[in-house]
Amino acid sequence: MRQKVKWIIGVVVIAGCLFAFRQPTNNYFDIAKSLDIFATLFKEVNTYYVDEVDPQKLIRHGIDNMLESLDPYTDFIPEDELENFRIATTGQYAGIGALIGIINKKIIVTHPYKNFPANKAGIKVGDELIAVNGISVQGKTTAETSTLLKGPSKTEVEVKVRRYGQKNDLTFKINRERISISNLAYSGLINPEIGYLKLDDFTPGASREVAAAVTKLKQQGAKKIILDLRDNPGGLLHEAINIVNLFIPKGKEVVSTKGKVAEWNKTYVTLNSPLDTEIPLVVLISEGSASAAEIVAGALQDYDRAVLIGNKTFGKGLVQTTRQLSYNAQLKVTTAKYYIPSGRCIQRLDYAHRNQDGSVDAYADSLKSAFKTKNGRVVFDGGGLDPDMVLEQQYMGEITSTLYISGLIFEYATKYCNENPQPDFRTFKVSDKEFEKFASWIKEQRFTYATSLEDETRKLVEAASRERYYSDLENELKLLLSKIESNKANDLNRFRDEIAELLARQIAFHYALNEGQYVVSLAHDSAISAAVKTLNDLAVHRQILSTN
């Protein structure tokens, strides 16, 4: 055991010192000193700590805490986690092509990807997984179940499921395939002249998918395009560059990266002939739009090529590079910041200057600089992208979000879809009669939840008790809690519209996956309505993009 520990320490020290002396830094002594202290400390802990220690676990804990002090994007990836990392970055794996989740303590198929093995075999949204190759998955985690479902391409896997309303379990024999998850969740015409694309990721092939979708939409009559990047967390830099290239001329700067290693600094320009430099564009953004999504939206804004509608983006202006480590491990490390064509970096949080408690602040407004777009519009750095047209943020009611997170909306959609024929999604909505059925079913499930106001009032009661004011305030506090409870009893009706809309989307997804869900939701989406209104009046569209 101790020989193993000494060997681990030796590798850490030697590898660390080699790494240190290869890097452009003058802190050689400090690095060597710190590594020596770490190695001797670890040796003493291993020798004298009262209980036996696990060297790998302790080292991993130290690595994770060290990297956590830098930023959330610098990660250590050991060999046994490389496959999950590869799937996350490429969207590719071998399996049956189905997303699974835990709902009400059951392993449920939440998304059988269209035209992949599970979907083609007949597995539906809402099916409960019972066994894989004869091995029961009840009580297993999604990771354990996913491992059973994955395997080499062209191998067979037997999947047993339980379907709502079916007396007997169903067994499917499915041939695994190489799965490549689409970056585009949906594309289609909103009206005869406006095409819509919802881009969820920037894994390999994203730009080809967008190019093909735009070409198809134009062939169908689209003369204007809405590109929806809301809640898109980003991904591969070159895919972002190629998507921008679809709409701006060849040879234009899209993004530049600048970091500690000067020879890694690079300016990326468009290399190909564009698809269309004239078609009017609107890009939808949100606080969940980050990284590569911000590069696309920011570059199109800087060239005054698209109107940005929505809310301020996340503000991730950091670039990560993957570096190979010993024993097939890897390090995903932040190596640079990126700058979009106007010269601004949209990084919002200043990780280089943490507070004493470890928290991180956004860059102060006083430190932000003004830049200009191609047409002279003023834009700012240091805080994400500001949309050209800001929309009021809409927040779900507590009851709506709790119903969704608990899986009850999903479960009722499963029930509905197995009891009713598929509707016409263009006109589908949850009727008042159906909503009453849903409300009755919710009561049968003994659904309960606590509102934020209720939680805060109970904290007030606890504080009053600690401060010995409760006897003086008892009547008022009890009355307040009673009124909150009374109001909460009516929440199902108060938030009826948003609950019904969410339920309608989930029902449509159960029937026809993304296509059904988006057909139902497009007509009720305020951001899309604002985009359509802007594109319907091209004079307003041009005015927004002119000098302010």
Looking at the annotation, which residues are catalytic? 291, 302, 316
Q: Rounded distance, CA 307 to CA 321, Å? A: 31
Contact call for residues 397 and 498 (beta carbons, < 8 A): yes
How many other C-beta atoms are found inside a 10 Å radius of the C-beta of residue 487?
13
Q: Rounded distance, CA 272 to CA 471, Å? A: 75
Q: Is 467 helix (H, G, I), strand (E, B) or coil?
A: coil
The angle formed by the CA atoms of residues 57, 58 and 61, to the nearest 5 degrees, is: 85
Contact call for residues 96 and 149 (beta carbons, < 8 A): yes
Which ranges constitute the DSSP H helices of 346-469? 398-405, 408-417, 432-444, 452-466
Nearest CA among 282, 153, 279 for reference residue 229: 282
Q: Rounded distance, CA 307 to CA 546, Å? A: 11
DSSP 153-167: TT-EEEEEEE-TT-S
Residues 6+ apart with CB under 8 A from 156: 173, 174, 175, 176
Burial of 93 (C-beta count, 10 Å sphere; 0-12/13-18/19+): buried
* Residue type (1 letter), 55: P
Nearest CA among 356, 353, 316, 359 for reference residue 336: 316
Q: How far is CA 31 from the centre of its chain?
A: 36
Q: Is 199 helix (H, G, I), strand (E, B) or coil?
A: strand
Tokens representing 238 are: 């070159």
Contact call for residues 159 and 123 (beta carbons, < 8 A): yes
Q: Residue for token digits 């598929």? A: 422
Q: Rounded distance, CA 35 to CA 15, Å? A: 10
Could you give phi then psi for residue 361, rounded to 5 degrees?
Answer: -100, 155
